[in-house]
Amino acid sequence: MRISTHRRALGALGIAVTVASLAACSSSAGTAGGATASAAGGSKTYTWWDPYPQHDASSSWAKRVQSCGDAAGVTVQRTAYDTTALTNQALLAAQEGTAPDVILLDNPAVSTLADTGMLTTTDEFGLDTSKIDPNLLAAGQMNGKTYGIPIGANTLALYYNKTILDAAGIDPTSIKDWDSLTAALQKVKAAGHKGITFAGIGTEEGSFQFLPWFWGAGAKLTQLDSPEATSALQLWTDWVKQGLAPNSVIQNSQNTTWEEFLTGDFAFGENGTWQVDAAKKAKFPTGVITIPAKTGGAAPAPTGGEFIEMPVQKDTKRYATTKKIVDCMTSTDGMVQTATTFAYYIPPTADGQQALLAKDSSLQPWVDAVKAAKGRTSDNLGTKYPKISEQLWTAVQNALSGSATPADALKAAQQKAAAATK
Amino acid sequence: MESLTTTVGTTRRTAGATRTGAPAVRPDRRPAASTRWAAFAFIAPLIAYLLVFYAYPLYRNIDLSLHDYTPRAFVQGNAAWVGLKNYTDIVASTTFSKAALNTAAFVLISIVFQYAIGLALAVFFRTSFRLNGVLRGMFLVPWLLPLIVSGSSWAWMLNSDNGIVNSVLRTFGVTPINWLTSPHWVLWSVIIANIWLGIPFNLVILYSGLQNIPGELYEAAALDGANGRQQFRRITFPLLRPVSAVTILLGLIYTLKVVDIIWIMTKGGPGDASTTFATWSYREAFGTGQPDFSPAAAVGNLLIVIALVFGFVYLHLQRRQES
């Protein structure tokens, strides 16, 4: 008798567990995620995703985000993902109808997400983008519509080690084109130092670092195997072959490259605006020059940086508050605050740039570089860019590692890119 | 919605199968309805678990591979049906043959060395000596370390310019090797790291297998004048065969699926030089700026099929051994 009662009880428990788990499954499809769950109750919590996992909850960036929530009278719940993971998470959330209220999105990913229809336009939100530098806004524009606003921009330049250049008798201002740069590298090597380090890793970072040379030769992303493109890849390959750049550049990320430069052995390191503060703290004096184009002048470097995006919500009443948060991030004062919080992020408006320069005039070369920079998805590439970029970094890897000549590597890349973007 | 109906349909079928199986256990009388319900309630959590965590993901993976899921289609749920096009595309891709060769080399070489070294260590640790337990414990360290740590450490040790391995080579006057950046060496580098990772698993399983071989056999063999090598060949190896088969099969399946160590060390590069099916699938889905879920799922399904083939081979061998 006791046993059968037990059995019945256990059986009931089994049913209960099953029902509960099924209920959990069905509800996860409909209402998981902060945004939708809180939408119905007119909650005061707004969700925010960004690609800065290095800034934790106690960081000044987290406080900056929260201050914009405070200004709008709501709590901002911030979640940080790695850049690539953020795109995937956003797609998944959009599919489930649980997109966050705000996403800070790496600029080349904007066109991919905009194309899915998950982002609102700045017109729908009544946001004014007329003051934003057109070269920076371009990454967010598709078919005449603008998706989001850049909250700041960064780009690449060449940091140099002043001690090494002085010892080798090189004047950094004399570096005007590829020939003078290569000559400087040879001089540095002859003096017993290492020449230059950059990131040739097989990810988007590899393409990002190669683009100033690619564009600086006059090449276009629509034709990866042009003679101009080949000359750019030949330049990098020759540097590695001649020992002017270390072999490890093939697997270097931008962080690793920076660590190499900080060892003090390298004369030059290609890196971005975000290292300005770190460069000041280096054990040796540093300086910055713009990356030279093949025949002289500054090469167009790719723009880096995030756009603030407002994903489509079921409850459109949320937009009014979201707009307040966006306004707080994109006002001139807000952009300058973001710029200094991130040390450094160049504001995308003339007013913002002036205000930042008034605080720190040494950022002038970076402001110039950002103004001359070019969006990776511009030239109407949009969603085709990620496909082309994948082939570009593969070609860089193949050429630098000696699997193929630069010409052959780029030829294969062009064939694959053309097939993938048909 | 589509998935829900499928789930329900499968539940009914599986439940039916259970019911028809039940009378065989108690052929004498029909179980009371309440008992049958209780029986179903007991099995239901398991069935629900299997459906939610095994059947649905598998179904979804096949579904992904038969449609063209661009990011837009993924969000809007209107992916075009393309049949087997993703499969023909991956087979026609230049990466395919490279990935196939790399996968075969990666799996076979890893397994052979993991097993051989694991077995040698297991036999070594069979004899009791001082510090046996401590040393054996230390061999488990690779297993306990998070892969991100061991992968990064290997990448750092094998760095062309600053790695400890090359600096040792230089000390002995050997030309340094571009372990992770030369297309000729990179596959070896990830294989070496993977062998190191797999030894503890082989050691643990084979060691416990050895515990089940009765000591008297060795005593008898010793009395008959068998030396160590003969004891290994005539006793240890044959009696360990069932355990070896399981170890190798599990090793095969684990190794086929390895993504992390390769991804952390080389991202499958330079170019495609260390790309296996598993890393290829991962790269298509998560490694670029634009996720390509459909080809990624196709490559993933291909891997599942390969693993299944090995599974069936194992079952076949086992059945033959039993009969």
CB contact under 8 A, A14 and B42: yes
pLDDT at position A12 over 80: no
- Going by pLDDT thresholds of 50, 70 and 90, the confidence category of residue B290 is confident
Q: What is the pLDDT of residue B4?
A: 38
Torsion, Cα of B155, B159, B163, B169 (10° steps): 120
Give the B window 269-298 contacts with A, CB below 8 Å: 269-273, 285-291
| Strand duo A286-289 + A156-161: pairing | antiparallel
Q: Mean pLDDT, chain A, as a whole number?
A: 88
- Does residue A296 lie in a domain region? yes
Q: Mean pLDDT, chain B, as a whole number?
A: 87
Q: Mark whether A100 and A232 lie in a shared domain.
A: no
- Does residue A103 lie in a domain region? yes
Q: What is the pLDDT of residue A42?
A: 54
Q: Mark whether A183 and A213 lie in a shared domain.
A: yes
Q: What is the pLDDT of residue A353?
A: 95
- Does residue A184 lie in a domain region? yes
CB contact under 8 A, B289 and A84: yes
Q: Mark whether A364 and A385 lie in a shared domain.
A: no
Q: Mark whether A268 and A405 lie in a shared domain.
A: yes
User: pLDDT tens for residues A35-82?
Assistant: 444 444 456 899 999 999 888 899 999 999 999 999 999 999 999 998
- Does residue A1 lie in a domain region? no
User: What is the residue range of A348's domain?
Assistant: 6-153+304-371
% chain A with pLDDT above 70: 90
Q: Mark whether A285 and A400 lie in a shared domain.
A: yes
Question: Is B189 in the A-facing interface, judged by CB distances under 8 Å?
Answer: no
Residue A205 distance to chain B (closest CA, Å): 11
H/E stretch holding A352 reads: helix A350-359
A24 vs A384: which has the higher pLDDT: A384
pLDDT at position A7 over 70: no
- Minimal Cβ distance to B273: which of A21, A383, A403: A403
| CB-facing half-sphere around the CA of A211: CA atoms within 13 A | 29
* A147-A152-A153 Cα angle (round to 5): 100
Residue A350 distance to chain B (closest CA, Å): 30
Residue of A82, A376, A381, A401 best to disrupt the B interface, most CBs of B under 10 A? A401
> Contact A275/A155 with Cβ under 8 angstroms?
no
Question: Is B57 in the A-facing interface, judged by CB distances under 8 Å?
Answer: no
- Which residues of chain A make contact with B160, given a CB cutoff of 8 A? 246-248
> Contact A229/A305 with Cβ under 8 angstroms?
no
- Which residues of chain B make contact with A8, given a CB cutoff of 8 A? 34, 38
Q: What is the pLDDT of residue B317?
A: 80
Q: Mark whether A10 and A115 lie in a shared domain.
A: yes
Question: Is A21 in the B-facing interface, judged by CB distances under 8 Å?
Answer: yes
- Does residue A45 lie in a domain region? yes
User: pLDDT tens for residues B62-92?
Assistant: 999 999 998 999 888 888 999 999 999 999 9
Where b means 16+ CB within 10 Å and e means fewer, B105-132 reads: ebbebbbebbbebbbebbbebbeeeeee
- Minimal Cβ distance to A94: which of B75, B288, B289: B75
> Contact B295/B284 with Cβ under 8 angstroms?
yes
- Does residue A352 lie in a domain region? yes
Q: What is the pLDDT of residue B313?
A: 85
Q: What is the pLDDT of residue B96?
A: 95
A383 vs B7: which has the higher pLDDT: A383
| Strand duo A45-50 + A102-106: pairing | parallel
Please tell me the distance from the alpha carbon of residue B56 to that of residue B60, in angstroms, as a whole number: 6
- Going by pLDDT thresholds of 50, 70 and 90, the confidence category of residue B33 is confident
Q: Mark whether A196 and A113 lie in a shared domain.
A: no
- Does residue A24 lie in a domain region? yes
B31 vs A363: which has the higher pLDDT: A363
Extended beta strands in A273-315, E state: 286-289, 306-309
Q: Mark whether A289 and A333 lie in a shared domain.
A: no
A32 vs A266: which has the higher pLDDT: A266
pLDDT at position B173 over 80: yes
Q: Mark whether A292 and A315 lie in a shared domain.
A: no
Q: What is the pLDDT of residue A390?
A: 94
Tally of structural domains, chain A = 2
User: pLDDT tens for residues A104-159?
Assistant: 999 999 999 999 999 999 999 999 999 999 999 999 998 889 999 999 999 999 99
> Contact A326/A128 with Cβ under 8 angstroms?
no
Q: What is the pLDDT of residue B18?
A: 43
Q: Mark whether A254 and A289 lie in a shared domain.
A: yes
Q: Mark whether A16 and A93 lie in a shared domain.
A: yes
Extended beta strands in A139-215, E state: 141-142, 145-146, 149-150, 156-161, 194-197
Q: What is the pLDDT of residue A64?
A: 92
Q: What is the pLDDT of residue B116?
A: 97
* ipTM surpassing 0.90: no
- Which residues of chain B make contact with A409, given a CB cutoff of 8 A? 271
At A375, list the tokens: 């969006």
Q: Mark whether A245 and A330 lie in a shared domain.
A: no
| CB-facing half-sphere around the CA of B111: CA atoms within 13 A | 20
For residue A285, what is the domain's CATH number?
3.40.190.10
- Does residue A27 lie in a domain region? yes
- Going by pLDDT thresholds of 50, 70 and 90, the confidence category of residue B23 is very low
At A327, list the tokens: 């306004």
Q: What is the pLDDT of residue A157?
A: 94
